[in-house]
Structure 1
């Protein structure tokens, strides 16, 4: 419950402790331990792509998790969004269901740079998975497909390609909508090193099925089941 309130409402540990009748330090420890457990069950990149191959396609995009930082923290400042934050890459199914969230990198990181650093480009090339992405990924090559620049000056079939591309890529925004429905990721006040863990924990709560995970202990299974029922 502590973890759910923290993720959903973005309350401070002082507020959590006061609300649940425990100390601030205890609230931090309970939430920290639970986040680590949940994040540990988030799928890795190769696991997320299991079952996909030639003939399948996914949507890749990046989002900025806003953070509290001063102007001097230049690496975290995104010129695109005009604010400080952390860059998180997502791979989503054609219907917008998130398959994988990357670790968070400083907001100044370009989406294409992040995709290469996380191994997304190579992993999709190896499996011959078609990737639909926006113009930020132009130059990725491999199996990435991005819109044409200056399509209005191009032949009609280029314009049609861009329209079809945008239509197929649009559901990918649902993955970000699900991620940002947890208020802690609308404006994170924690250490930047914890944002990756939080994103992975949220991914576990959103998408992972635990019925086939025999290694999951009874207590953890009960916790996750309870959280999922409340979230629903």
Structure 2
């Protein structure tokens, strides 16, 4: 961990390292380090300035705490460029283990239901900003869709689309509507998905003017959809996805990497 310290004597910023804790299980760091080790063996590139465990720790610190590459580099004794390269490599390794849409739906079928929702991953990359500006959220970012189990466990996260993309448009483009229709899986979604058809069920429009049984349906549907918010809450507990400073092209990989971290079995 490092903090910037303005020093009038040097006229610049000095990065001062200090001890810190990372709130992830030790077993998770070991699991990621084994994945890195396997990738190095595959590339026949066993030697790096940082060992597999330290590289895993560096990448997890970036995802969990959203520290800059300059801070990470100073804290781990490598250059800013090397820290960026190490994190990028770990994102690739983890994202390669993320399930595809059809793989995520294996075992589900008629009689099952899932929750579909969308969120915005905020970003400070606002040059060429119009495609990334979400009118709904009134900020720039990337649209990510999730398919979650009834208890909120994420099954699948989509690739990231520009923030102005409507949730229904994104769901159709990613193939969510068709994939769930093919398997006859009931989909519960909010009003943003109205008009999806197929097996997608959304609340009825209207408030007090709705018949009581429609209002009751909306209350029941909202109660069943509520756990879906946990999927995004867990995703954004990794602070790199609370406000992404990376290229918009890397956000999708970061989402997939965090999904693997949330669901991987490192106890074996």
Q: Mark yes or no: TM-score above 0.5.
A: yes
* Greater share of residues in helix: 1
Distance 1:71 1:136 in 2: 27
Please name the residue that 1:228 is paired with: none
Please name the residue that 1:27 is paired with: 83
CA shift at 1:155, angstroms? 1.1
1:15 aligns with 2:71: yes
The equivalent position to 2:147 in structure 1, one of 74, 80, 91, is 91
The equivalent position to 1:42 in structure 2, one of 73, 76, 98, is 98
CA shift at 1:29, angstroms? 1.3
Q: Secondary structure at the match of 1:42?
A: coil
CA contact (8 A) 2:188 2:201 kept: yes
Please name the residue that 1:109 is paired with: 165
The count of aligned residue pairs is 212
CA shift at 1:71, angstroms? 7.0
Distance 2:207 2:153 in 1: 29
Distance 2:123 2:138 in 1: 12
Please name the residue that 1:127 is paired with: 183
CA shift at 1:119, angstroms? 0.1
1:144 aligns with 2:144: no
Distance 1:188 1:208 in 2: 23
Larger Rg computed on CA atoms = 2
Considering only aligned residues, what root-mean-square deviation do their CA atoms show, in Å? 1.2
CA contact (8 A) 1:86 1:104 kept: yes
Q: Secondary structure at the match of 1:62?
A: strand
1:167 aligns with 2:223: yes
Provide, for residues 87-123 of structure 1, a one-character-per-residue CA deviation record: whole Å limited to 9, x for no partner: 0000000000000000000000000000000000000
Structure 1 unaligned segments of length 5 or more: list them: 212-224, 226-232
- Structure 1 segments of 4+ aligned residues over 2 angstroms from their partners: 69-72, 208-211
Label 1:142 to 1:210 Cα distance change in 2 as closer, same or farther (>3 A).
farther
CA shift at 1:23, angstroms? 1.1
Distance 2:58 2:157 in 1: 23
CA contact (8 A) 1:151 1:158 kept: no
Q: Secondary structure at the match of 1:94?
A: coil
Name the structure, 1 or 2, with higher relative contact order (CA <8 Å, separation 6+): 1
Please name the residue that 1:218 is paired with: none
- Paired residues for 1:156-195 under 5 Å: 156-195=212-251
The equivalent position to 2:119 in structure 1, one of 63, 67, 79, is 63
Please name the residue that 1:155 is paired with: 211
CA contact (8 A) 2:125 2:247 kept: no
Further displaced range: 148-157 or 185-194:
148-157
Q: What TM-score, normalized to structure 1?
A: 0.89
Distance 1:208 1:100 in 2: 13
CA shift at 1:24, angstroms? 1.1
CA contact (8 A) 2:181 2:198 kept: yes
Q: What TM-score, normalized to structure 2?
A: 0.77
